[in-house]
Amino acid sequence: MVIPSDDVQAIAGTCIARYGEREWRLAVLTAEVHGHLGIYATLGAKMGLRAVEELESAGADVHRLSVLSYAGGVPPVSCLNDGLQIGSGATLGHGQIAVAATDKPRAEARFSCGEIAFSLRLKPEFERQIRNDIRDAEKRFGHRPEYWQQIRSLALRYWQDWDRKEIFEKID
């Protein structure tokens, strides 16, 4: 397991107590694979895990899970795709995840497993919060190193404060 940095270790106890060790491990691994702690990658891990939990509770074989992401291929929203892979276990290598061609990328994915299918979408109020926070960071810092520090700080806050059972709407 990757040893998290000091700022990540500082929220470990709170995150594990609130959301469980499973989410904690998946979010840490996502940050490692993604190359930095980012907002949408962390949300993707939360979304993927939430989908797996829904499927497990329905008795589905999650090893047969397929994911269709609507996050597109352009950062920052496309970073959701990295988190979806780690959080759900549906990987490009196994051909279980695809990214829909869309001119309106969004934090949404369709999950299918046998006869069970549903979408999870980030609720609009959370999407607005992210958009506003990123816009504010860009205005304050441009894309200097301080911008990336602010994005990391936001990702830590969202990870710690936003419950995967409350931030997504489920669409059947």
Question: Half-sphere exposure of residue 11, counting CA atoms within 13 Å on the CB side?
Answer: 23
pTM for the model stands at 0.96
- Per-residue model confidence as pLDDT tens digits over 116-163: 999 999 999 999 999 999 999 999 999 899 999 999 999 999 999 999
Whether residue 95 is predicted with pLDDT greater than 60 in this model: the reply is yes
Element (H, E) at 73: none
- Per-residue model confidence as pLDDT tens digits over 69-91: 999 999 999 999 999 999 999 99
| Burial 155-168, CB ≥16 within 10 A → b, else e | bbebbeebebeebb
Taken in order of first residue, the domains within the chain and their CATH numbers are 6-171 (3.30.1330.130)
